[in-house]
Structure 1
Amino acid sequence: MYSPDHSPLGQASAYPQHYDPTLLFPIARAMGRSAIGIPAKPPFFGADLWTAYELSWLDPRGKPQVAIAHFTLPCETPNLIESKSFKLYLNSLNSTHFESMEAVRERIRADLSEAAWRASEHPGTVGVRMLAPDQFEEERIAEMQGLLLDRLKVECTHYEPAPELLTAALDEAPVEETLTSHLLKSNCPVTGQPDWGSLQISYSGPQIDQAALLRYIVSFRDHQGFHEQCVERIFMDISARCQPIKLTVYARYTRRGGLDINPLRTSHPMPLPQAMRTARQ
């Protein structure tokens, strides 16, 4: 399977002039998961929720069409999709004629599904939902709900993931709460460019020390990892150190190249969050 070192990231790329599904670059999830001790069958559910704001094609008469698209890649797919390759692939549709928006949706769904499930014995499909311009007003701008950790005055000294910072009241009665932070930052493992995100952590179980959790979130500031891998690391660290009964970790990253990536990992089956974007996105 392809490795990040061979992806289009950090390389000069020609602007695609023709439809080309081979531009999609899958990266095996197992590569990142093995590094943090995630077994072949991960202990979580969830999906990577992508939004594309720069999607266009030509109708049969050659008139440009535009749309916003939401993509749902289940976390059980063997591969994630490298984001620059995704952008290049979407650009390859710009000068391609399609009979309808539904034809575009089906083409994208088939191509993404093939890349995400490549090398799998039991391939599945990727969710694709597209909004035409007369539906743009349906797009919500909202903020993640929960108690904001950033209000706390804490001293931060760790800028690489430090799970040892996490603590919880393991000998006290369990609680249920949702906590948020806008201070999540990590870096692309290939280019070193910063990735900015907001984080929501919902759990039931021993009460997590909020100041410790905030310092832990800040500790990703110099870490190099893909969005999906960072969220999975956070899920695994909180699970191990704080022993929640239930846990959901959800991040919304600011967009790059017209795409945002919003991974969600949860200990239990649950409905996916309603499509939205935050003010920073």
Structure 2
Amino acid sequence: MTALASSPLGKTSAYVERYDPSLLFPIPRQPKRDEIGIGATTPFTGADLWTAYELSWLNPRGKPQVALAHITVPCETTHIIESKSFKLYLNSFNQTVFESIEAVQQRLREDLSEAVWRGHSMRGSVGVRLVGPQAFGAELIQPLEGLSLDRLDVECTDYTPAPWHLSADPDQPPVAEVLVSDLLKSNCLVTGQPDWGSVRIAYTGAPIDQAGLLRYLVSFRQHHEFHEQCVERVFMDIWTRCRPTRLSVYARYTRRGGLDINPWRTSHPQQPPVNQRTARQ
């Protein structure tokens, strides 16, 4: 919490309308990873997929421009960006003149890359893709694909993370399954505001008890942690308790302040998911 004490989260903030990259507030990843039991070498790769729905600036003639931004932050970066500071930073574009959409894209890439590697050597840049109004029609809504755990009529009594619900049967033949749930909910680490999400778990290995997995996911309901940290906690609990040979965990959280955050972690190399919104986003 020490690093968060000086962040804008949970505080009254002035909305700056002139470009100001100093508004970005990076938070180190490692302290929460230490808490979860993740060392300097992680058992996963992946990324945090952000969508910014409220991006606007002025062209050289002073005419407002708008775009959606798809942003990919590799999970190997040393920091995440606190989401309210990200919103304030994007608002600082509102009355700022940029020569072109490409100039906006380059500015975002440079500023965000510096922030997520703050104080360390940069080992890769943040991915930024801007979608202009002419392409808004191609932004589709798609549910997470897989077998829904929510079909199960289970009794739930735990509302803080309860990994003891997780189990797999090593005496059964290995399976490859994709399981989804729309019942993920956690709370902001600082403000306590609810964070609503859907989660997709794909694994290969001994069959995981689906009822136990659903109870486990529901158990985040009163838990306070950022999106990225919740997904890494889910990954590690399944990885250590069910011991799959392959695992990926992908969550899509509903937007707040014009931003949604969608962390994805995988035990093996693969293409990242398409950053495509669900109906609730």
TM-score (normalizing by structure 2): 0.98
Aligned to 2:230: 230
Contact 2:114 2:122 in 1 (8 A): no
Mapped partners of 1:180, 1:217: distance in 2:
10
Output aligned runs, 1:266-277, within 5 Å: 266-277=266-277
Give 3-state SS (helix, strand or coil) of 1:176's partner: strand
Query: 1:2 deviation in Å?
Result: 7.0
Find the aligned partners of 2:231 and 2:144 in 1 and give their Cα distance: 16
1:217 alignment partner AA: L
Give me the whole-angstrom Cα distance separating, in 2, the residues matched to 1:137 and 1:273: 20
Letter in 2 for 1:97: V
Give CA deviations for 1:53-89 in whole Å, capped at 9, x if unaligned: 1000000010000000100000000000000000000
Contact 1:198 1:253 in 2 (8 A): yes
Correspondence for 1:132: 132
Aligned-pair distance for 1:7? 1.2
Q: Is the 8 A contact 1:2 1:25 kept in 2?
A: no
State the partner residue of 1:113. Answer: 113
Q: Which residue of 2 aligns with 1:45?
A: 45
Query: Is the 1:145–1:180 Cα contact (8 Å) retained in structure 2?
Result: yes
Once superposed, which parts of structure 1, at least 4 consecutive aligned residues long, lie more than 4 Å away? none
Report SS of the residue matched to 2:5. Answer: helix
> How far apart in 1 are the matches of 2:199 and 2:130?
25
TM-score by length of 1: 0.98
Relative to structure 1, is the Cα distance of residues 60 and 98 closer, same or farther in structure 2, using a 3 angstrom cutoff? same
1:22 CA drift (Å): 0.5
Structure 2 counterparts to residues 119-268 of structure 1, below 5 A: 119-268=119-268
- The answer (yes or no) to whether the contact 1:45–1:267 under 8 Å persists in 2 is yes
* Structure 1: distance between partners of 2:8 and 2:21: 14
For 2:141, what is the secondary structure of its paired residue? coil
Superposition deviation, residue 256 in structure 1 = 0.2
> Which letter does structure 2 place at the counterpart of 1:141?
I
Q: Which amino acid aligns with 2:138?
A: E
Structure 2 residue runs without a partner (length 5+): none
CA RMSD, aligned part only? 1.0
Contact 1:2 1:28 in 2 (8 A): no
Residue type at the aligned position of 2:104: V
Q: Residue by residue, what CA displacement relative to the aligned partner does 1:242-278 show, whole Å, maximum 9, x if unpaired?
A: 0000000000000000000000000001101122100
Q: Report the Cα offset of residue 101 of structure 1.
A: 0.2
Q: Distance in 1 between matches of 2:91 and 2:179?
A: 37
- Aligned residue for 1:5, secondary structure, equals coil
Structure 1 residue 172, shift from structure 2 partner: 1.6
